[in-house]
Amino acid sequence: MATQKIDTDALGEKIVKVLKTIYDPEIPVDIYELGLIYDVFVNEDYEVKILMTLTTPNCPVAESLPAEVEDKVKSIKEVKDAEVEMTFDPPWTQDIMSEEAKLELGLL
C-alpha cells in the first residue's frame, strides 16, 4: 500500500484558515491579516514551522500567543508537529497589515 501524498499547498491553506481564528487581544483583527505571520514552512514529513512576530516585543501575550498558534496548528490532523519561532527582525509595522486589516481598523 503506497503512502498517500498530502498536498502541502492545501495543508498551507488549512494552516492559514486556523491562523485566521487567532486574534491579537488588543486589536480586533486576526494575526494573519495583521501581518504577524512572516512565513509558514511545511516539510514533506508534515512538520510545520511558523515564523511570527508580535506588534511589540513587550506585548502582553508574548508568552501565550505563540503557544496558542502552535497548539491550534498542531490540532490540524495532517500536521505531525508544529513549532513557532519568534522574530522581531524586521520589526512589525502597520505597513505590513493586509488591506482588510487596515480597513477594519479605519486606517484606509
Query: How does residue 3 score in pLDDT terms, banded at 50, 70 and 90?
Result: very low
What is the grid cell recorded at 6? 498530502
Residue with cell 506588534: 55
Distances (CA, A) of 36 to 55, 74, 78: 7, 19, 23
pLDDT tens digits, one per residue of 20-76: 999 988 888 999 999 999 999 999 899 999 999 998 888 888 889 999 999 999 999
d(CA 98, CA 33): 5
Domains and CATH numbers, the chain: 8-92 (3.30.300.130)
pLDDT tens digits, one per residue of 93-103: 999 999 999 99
Amino acid 56 reads T
> What global pTM score does this model have?
0.88
